[in-house]
Every structure is written in C-alpha cells, then in structure tokens.
C-alpha cells in the first residue's frame, strides 16, 4: 500500500526563542502525527515533524529502516530532558564555585576594612566629643576652619575652646572662624575674639551661617548630629570634607572682618547685611521668631528693625511691608 505521508507535515510549534529545537507547546501536526503513530505502530521518517524527533517521542525502528516507532512520553523524557538537566546541574556547580570564591574575597575585604578608620562616626556625649576635638587639634598640621551660627557663644564653650585654640595658633596653625553679625554685640565672644586675634586668628562675620562645623586641614571635620545637641558626626570621607572646605571658603569670601577694638560699633556694611537678611525673610513670609533664630537676633530686635523699615517705607501692616520691600528695589543687587 502506498503511503500518503512521504513528506514531513508542516510544524508550527510555539518556540521561544526561535532557534530552540524543543517547543514550548506542541503543534496540531505533532499531536495528530503522534496519535497516528500510536494507532498504526510506525510511520515513515518523512511523515514525522521535527519536534517529535527532538522530544524523542518517535525513534528509528531497528527492524524497519526508514520508519519511526512511537515511545511512551515517560520513556522519552529520559532522553529529552537528560541533556537539559545536565546543563542545569553544571550551572549549579558553577554557581556554587563562584559563591565560594567570592566568599573568600569577602573575608579579605572585611579584614582590610576593619583596619581602616570609618568615614563617618557618631560621637555621643560632651566628654567624648571634647576628646575627639582635642585629638583633631593635636593632629592638625596647617589650618582650622570653624563656623558658628547664632549669636554669642556660651561662656563655658568659649572657656573650653580658648586654650585649645591658643595652643594651635602658637604652633603656627592658621585659624579662620565665621560668626554671624550679631556676635559683634556679645561681650564674652568679643573678649575671646580679642585674645585669639592677638595670636593671629582671623575672624569674619556674615548675616547668616548655615550650620556649625569644624574642619582640620582638609581631611577631618566635625558636624552636629541631627538635632541632638549632645552628639556630633566625625567625618573622614574626603569628598564630604572637601565639600565643607569649599562651602567655608565661599562664605569666607563674602564675610566682613572683625576688628575687636571696633566690633561693638555697628558698621554700615553689617547693619545693611542684617536688614537685608530680615527683609528677605519678610518677603518669604517668615515670622519674627523664625527670623531671629536664623540670624541670631532676639525677637524684639527683629521687630525693632522691621519697625524702622516700616516707618521709612510708610507701611502700616506686615503684608504691606512685604509687598513694598519686594517692589521697592531694596533687595536688588
């Protein structure tokens, strides 16, 4: 009897990716051919789709060359899946080997890092912070930069820092300090400034200083830790220290030098800077208390400045003052 299936039927199995020999889902031709093979016992090789051969569901008939016989899927799975399972097993062996190798390097990395100083360290307690500052002072080689926001510094802080600062200056260390303009009316801070400038320290003031920080040379800094007055952050990260140095130097270039013998006198520049800062805050909608905290003045002093400016501009309300300031050109550079 002549066979009507001398040519392989069209196979449209869903393959992903396209070059895979084993499909994700069998095509209708494969299912129909396998059913016919089970019914007839064997089929000509040319009548069998390639996907059935790839799955080992039809294999060569040893007794009839050129024909294929069907085998149970369970039996076919050994031949079809064994190469895939071997590849997976090899990948697992490679994964375990890579993990073991990286673990050895992790140990080495940890050992080396333990010998290094941490880039950021939280210091808690005034005694701990004071000892850390003493260590920073003793290790300083060329320059100390410090910035102090607010008005005059507390007397106990000045007493604690004075011997340390004088010792540094007498060792030839350059010391530059930034304060806010309001420090010029604080007698205790001016006494401290008088003593350190006599030894070569340089002091300047600005309307505002963003935050308190100290930088020793260009490799160690101390900054407040969040809002906790009893904690500080010791910074050794080179990029962060360089950022603080640049921030300080830019502020220093804009600041006004302090001459202790003339500091109590409100120079026109200082008065202008203070009033400018207050006017900018008024335009921004800040309250007197918020302005005072930021520029180091009492709420009453801020109110007095605003009263004088209001009289000059003819303002009768805060809202009108903000409008007149914004449109008067007083804040133009």
Closest CA to 161 of 183, 133, 136: 133
- Say if CB 50 and CB 21 are below 8 A apart: yes
Q: Is the pLDDT of residue 292 over 90?
A: no
| Residue 201 structure tokens | 């320290």
- Say if CB 313 and CB 325 are below 8 A apart: yes
| Residue 299 structure tokens | 């709420």
Range with top average pLDDT, 11-20, 202-211, 244-253 = 244-253
Angle at CA of residue 57, ends 55 and 83, nearest 5°: 35
pLDDT at 264: 45
| Paired strand residues for 144 | 175, 216
3-state secondary structure of 176: strand
- Say if CB 239 and CB 147 are below 8 A apart: no
Cis geometry, peptide bond prior to residue 17 (ω within 30 degrees of 0): yes
- CATH architecture of the domain 120-265 equals 2-Layer Sandwich (3.30)
Eight-class DSSP state of 23: -
| Residue 27 structure tokens | 């095509």
Question: Given 1.10.10.10, 3.30.70.2700, 3.30.230.70, 3.50.50.60, which CATH number is that of 269-328?
Answer: 1.10.10.10
Distance CA 234, CA 213 (A): 10
* DSSP percent split of the chain into helix, strand, coil, nearest 5: 55, 15, 30
Q: Over the chain, what is the mean pLDDT?
A: 80
Range with top average pLDDT, 201-215, 224-238, 240-254 = 240-254
pLDDT in tens, 146-195: 998 877 788 888 888 888 889 889 989 999 999 888 787 788 888 899 99
Closest CA to 222 of 146, 153, 161: 146
Q: Where are the domains of the chain?
A: 120-265, 269-328
- Using 50, 70 and 90 to split pLDDT, how confident is the model at 260? low
pLDDT in tens, 56-80: 899 998 888 899 999 898 888 888 8
pLDDT in tens, 2-59: 444 444 566 666 543 444 456 667 788 888 999 998 998 889 988 888 888 888 899 9
Distance CA 68, CA 66 (A): 7
Closest CA to 55 of 263, 154, 113, 37: 37
Per-residue buried b or exposed e for 145-154, using 16+ beta carbons within 10 Å of the residue's own CB? bbbbbbbbbe
User: Angle of helix 288-295 relative to helix 299-313, nearest 10 degrees?
Assistant: 110
| Residue 68 structure tokens | 């294929």
**CB atoms near residue 131 (< 10 Å):** 12
Beta-strand runs (E) in the chain: 43-44, 58-60, 67-70, 120-124, 143-147, 174-180, 202-206, 213-216, 220-225, 228-235, 256-257
All residues at 6 or more sequence positions from 20 whose CB lies less than 8 Å from its CB, including other chains: none
120-265 and 269-328 agree in CATH topology? no
How large a percentage of the chain has pLDDT more than 70?
A: 80
């Amino acid at each position: 009897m002549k066979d009507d299936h001398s040519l392989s039927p069209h196979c449209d199995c869903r393959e992903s990716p396209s070059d895979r020999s084993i499909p994700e889902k069998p095509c209708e031709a494969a299912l129909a051919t396998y059913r016919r093979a089970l019914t007839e016992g064997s089929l000509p090789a040319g009548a069998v789709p390639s996907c059935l051969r790839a799955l080992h569901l039809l294999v060569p008939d040893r007794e009839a060359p050129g024909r294929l016989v069907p085998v149970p899927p369970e039996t076919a799975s050994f031949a079809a899946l064994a190469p895939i399972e071997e590849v997976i097993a090899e990948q697992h062996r490679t994964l375990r080997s890579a993990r073991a190798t990286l673990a050895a390097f992790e140990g080495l990395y940890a050992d080396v890092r333990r010998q290094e100083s941490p880039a950021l360290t939280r210091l808690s307690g005034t005694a701990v912070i004071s000892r850390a500052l003493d260590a920073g002072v003793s290790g300083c080689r060329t320059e100390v930069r410090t910035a102090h926001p607010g008005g005059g510094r507390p007397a106990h802080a000045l007493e604690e820092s004075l011997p340390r600062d004088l010792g540094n200056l007498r060792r030839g260390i350059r010391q530059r300090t930034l304060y806010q303009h309001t420090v010029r009316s604080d007698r205790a801070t001016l006494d401290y400034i008088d003593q350190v400038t006599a030894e070569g320290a340089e002091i300047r003031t600005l309307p505002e200083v963003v935050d308190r920080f100290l930088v020793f040379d260009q490799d160690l800094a101390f900054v407040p830790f969040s809002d906790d007055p009893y904690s500080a952050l010791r910074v050794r990260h080179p990029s962060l220290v360089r950022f603080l140095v640049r921030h300080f130097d830019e502020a220093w270039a804009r600041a006004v030098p302090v001459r202790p013998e003339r500091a109590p006198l409100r120079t026109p520049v200082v008065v202008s800077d203070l009033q400018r800062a207050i006017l900018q805050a008024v335009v921004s909608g800040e309250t007197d208390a918020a302005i005072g905290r930021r520029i180091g003045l009492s709420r009453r002093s801020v109110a007095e400045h605003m009263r004088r400016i209001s009289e000059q501009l003819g303002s009768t309300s805060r809202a009108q003052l903000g409008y007149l300031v914004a449109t008067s050109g007083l804040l133009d550079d």
